[in-house]
């Protein structure tokens, strides 16, 4: 058990749908991250939150909207996605920002049809 949970584990959505991914960490960490993992590509960092404040947004399209209501919860709101957005979306947390050891959740496998 990693201490970071993600729901749902699998999601299929149409391009006109709105859905949200949820991440919860039980490790007492103060930084949380969203990553996108596609086939044949390195993990792509999307967003970074430190103490509930967004500190990094790596040129992610506005159809992805993160929310961090407290240091234990992180959401990724999705709307009008494209088929190329299909991927594994991973949440991670760390005690300390950036290069510190990160603990990942199991991911949400997203398929956009």
Region of residue 9 (left: phi > 0; alpha: psi -120 to 50; beta: else): alpha
Give the interface segment with other proteins, choosing from 13-21, 66-74, 75-83, 84-92 (CB under 8 A): 84-92
Q: Which stretch binds other proteins (CB under 8 A): 59-67, 68-76, 77-85, 94-102?
A: 94-102
Neighbours of 34 (CB within 10 A): 24
**Cα–Cα distance, 5 to 26 (Å, whole number):** 8
Question: 6 or 78, CB closer to other proteins?
Answer: 6
Q: What is the enclosing helix (H) or strand (E) of 79?
A: strand 73-79
Q: Is 79 in the site for other proteins (CB under 8 A)?
A: no
Task: Specify the stretch interacting with other proteins by CB under 8 A; choose among 12-20, 34-42, 68-76, 79-87.
Answer: 34-42
């Amino acid at each position: 058990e990693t201490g970071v949970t993600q729901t749902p584990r699998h999601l299929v959505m149409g391009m006109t749908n709105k859905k949200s991914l949820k991440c919860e960490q039980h490790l007492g960490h103060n930084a949380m991250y969203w990553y996108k993992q596609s086939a044949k590509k390195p993990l792509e960092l999307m967003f970074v939150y430190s103490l509930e404040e967004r500190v990094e947004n790596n040129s992610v399209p506005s159809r992805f909207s993160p929310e961090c209501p407290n240091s234990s919860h992180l959401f990724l709101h999705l709307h009008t996605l494209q088929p190329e957005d299909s991927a594994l979306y991973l949440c991670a947390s760390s005690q300390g920002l950036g290069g510190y050891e990160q603990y990942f959740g199991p991911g949400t496998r997203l398929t956009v049809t």
